[in-house]
Amino acid sequence: MYLYIIAGLAILASLLANRERTRSALKIAAKRFLHIFPAFLTMIILVSIILFLLPDEVISDYLGGDNIFIGVILASFLGSITFMPGFIAFPLSGILLQRGVAYMVLAAFTTTLMMVGVLTAPIEKAYFGMKVTILRNVISFFIALIVAVMIGLFFGEIF
Amino acid sequence: MKRNDIIRIVGLSGYALFLVLSLALGFDPGKEIGRNFLSFSLAMLKILPGAFILIGLFEVWVKRETIEKHFGEKSGIRGYVWAILLSSTTVGGIYVAFPIAYSLYCKGARLGVIFTYLGAAAICRVPMTIFEASFLGIKFSAIRLLVSIPLVVGTSMLLGSYLAKRNYKLAAGR
C-alpha cells in the first residue's frame, strides 16, 4: 500500500513542478509496462502451473527427509523452480523448523527461492538476454549453496 | 511475425482454452490452476503499476549525470553501497527489480552495480528480512546476510567486468 502513497505523492510533486514532464513520465511508464507485459504473463502462467504441481504440502514432504545433504540438494532445486512470496515462505519455514527440519535445508530453500528464478527467467531474459540470465542464476545457485553450508556450520549441523 | 511470437500465441491460446474447458467440464486441476492464475495476477497488479509509475518519473526527472556519478564507472565502491541500500527498499520481488535495474543501466550505471542491485534486491529487502528473522531467528538472518552480500558484490564485479570485456550491451527500448 505504501508504494501507492509514494507513487501518488511523487506524481503530485511532479505535476506541481512540470505538467508536461509528468505527462511524458506517465507515457514512459505505460509504454514500458505494455512492452514487458507478455513476459510477465508468461511468468504468471508458469507460476500458476508450478503452484498446482508443487503445493506447500508437497514441498514440506520433500524437505523433511532424514538425510541432511539430500535435503539441501532437494531444497535448492525446489527453491529454484518454485515461486513463493516471503510472507508464505518464511511462516512455512518456521513450521518446518518446529517439525525438526535442519536450518541448513531451510537456508538452501529460502535463499534459492529468493535468488534463483527459473520462473522469472522470461522477464529477466527480456531485459538482459539469455546468456546473462543463465550466468546470473547459476552464480546465485552456488551462492545459495555456500550460504546453506555456512548456516549448517554455524548452527552445528555439520561436523 | 517472429517464430517466438507464434509459439507465444499458440501457448497462450492453449492455456486459455484449457482453463475455459476445465471450468466448463468441472476439471478440478484446471480450476485450481485458474485460481492460481487469478490470485497471482492480482498480486502483480497491486505492485506493477505503482512500480512502473515510479520508473517513468525516474526516467524523466533524474539526470543521467547523477546516476553516472553515483552508480557509474567512476563511482568506485560507493556505487555498490548505494545499490545495496537502494535494493533494501525494493518492494515485491526480484521481478520488480529487473525493470528498475534496466532503467539504472540506461541512465549510465555500470554492469557490476546493477547485478549487485539485482542480487541484493533478492536477499536484502528490509520487510522480508524482518519477516525472516521473526520466523527463523536473528542469528539465521545475520549469517545469511553476512555470507551472501559479499558473495553477491564479488560475483557481480566479476560478471560485470567479464561482460564489459566482451562488449556486452543491453538491448535498447525495453
How does pLDDT run across B2-56, given as a tens digit for each residue?
787 888 889 999 999 999 999 999 999 999 999 999 988 998 888 889 989 999 9
pLDDT of residue B89: 85
B171 and B86 share one domain? yes
Q: Are residues B94 and B166 in the same domain?
A: yes
Residues 21-80 of B with CB under 8 A from A: 29, 32-34, 36-37, 40-41, 43-44, 47-57, 59-61
pLDDT digits 0-9 by tens, B94-147: 889 999 999 999 999 999 999 999 999 999 988 889 889 999 999 999 999 999
With 90 as the cut, is the pLDDT of residue B68 above it? no
Predicted confidence pLDDT, tens digits, chain A (159 residues): 778 898 999 999 999 999 999 999 999 999 999 988 988 998 899 989 998 998 888 888 888 877 888 999 999 999 999 988 887 889 889 989 988 899 999 999 999 999 999 999 999 999 999 999 999 999 999 999 999 999 999 999 887
Of A94, A136, A147, the CB nearest to B135: A94
Residue A155, classified by CB atoms within 10 Å of its CB into exposed (0-12), middle (13-18) or buried (19+), is: middle
DSSP state of A66: S
Q: Is residue B1 part of a domain?
A: yes
Per the domain annotation, does B165 fall within a domain? yes
ipTM for the complex shown: 0.88
Please tell me the predicted confidence (pLDDT) of residue B76.
Answer: 84
* Mutation site for B-interface testing, chosen from A21, A40, A114 by largest number of B Cβ within 10 Å: A114
Binary contact (A128, B98; C-beta < 8 A): yes
Q: Break chain A into its structural domains and give their ranges.
A: 54-154
Q: Which range of residues forms the domain containing residue B137?
A: 62-174
Cβ <8 Å between A127 and B49: no
Q: Is the same domain home to B113 and B36? A: no
Cα B14 from Cα B21, distance rounded (Å): 10
Tell whether B55 is covered by a domain. no
Query: Given a cut of 90, is residue B167 above it in pLDDT?
Result: no
Examine residue B123 and state whether it is found in any structural domain, yes or no.
yes
If asked whether residues B170 and B89 sit together in one domain, one would say: yes
The verdict on residue B39 lying in a domain is: yes
Going by pLDDT thresholds of 50, 70 and 90, the confidence category of residue B1 is low
- The 3 state secondary structure assigned to chain B is CCHHHHHHHHHHHHHHHHHHHHHHHCCHHHHHHHHHHHHHHHHHHHHHHHHHHHHHHHHHHCCHHHHHHHHCHHHCHHHHHHHHHHHHCCCCCHHHHHHHHHHHHHCCCCHHHHHHHHHHHHHCCHHHHHHHHHHHCHHHHHHHHHHHHHHHHHHHHHHHHHHHHCCCCCCCCC
Give chain B's domain count: 2
Nearest residue on chain A to B147, judged by CA atoms? A147
| Residue B20 burial (CB count, 10 A) | 12
**Chain B residues 98-157 with a CB less than 8 Å from chain A:** 98-99, 101-102, 115, 118-119, 122-123, 125, 127-128, 131-132, 134-136, 139-140, 143-144, 147-148, 151-152, 155
Q: Which phi-psi region, left, alpha or beta, contains residue A48 (left: φ > 0; alpha: ψ -120 to 50)?
A: alpha
**What residue type is assigned to position A3 of the chain?**
L
Residues of A in contact with B33 (CB under 8 A): 48-49, 52
The answer to whether residue B93 sits within a structural domain is: yes
Q: What part of A 74-133 touches B (C-beta under 8 Å)?
A: 85-87, 90-91, 93-94, 97, 103, 106-107, 110-111, 114-115, 117, 120, 123-124, 126-129, 132
Q: Which residues of B touch A129 (CB under 8 A)?
A: 170-171
Q: Would the CB atoms of A91 and B60 count as touching at under 8 Å?
A: no
Q: Is residue B57 part of a domain?
A: no
A25–B59: do the CB atoms touch at under 8 Å?
A: yes
Whether residue B108 sits in one domain with residue B83:
yes
3-state SS string for B26-60: CCHHHHHHHHHHHHHHHHHHHHHHHHHHHHHHHHH
Q: Are residues B128 and B170 in the same domain?
A: yes
| Assigned domain for B82 exists | yes
Cell of B171: 538491448
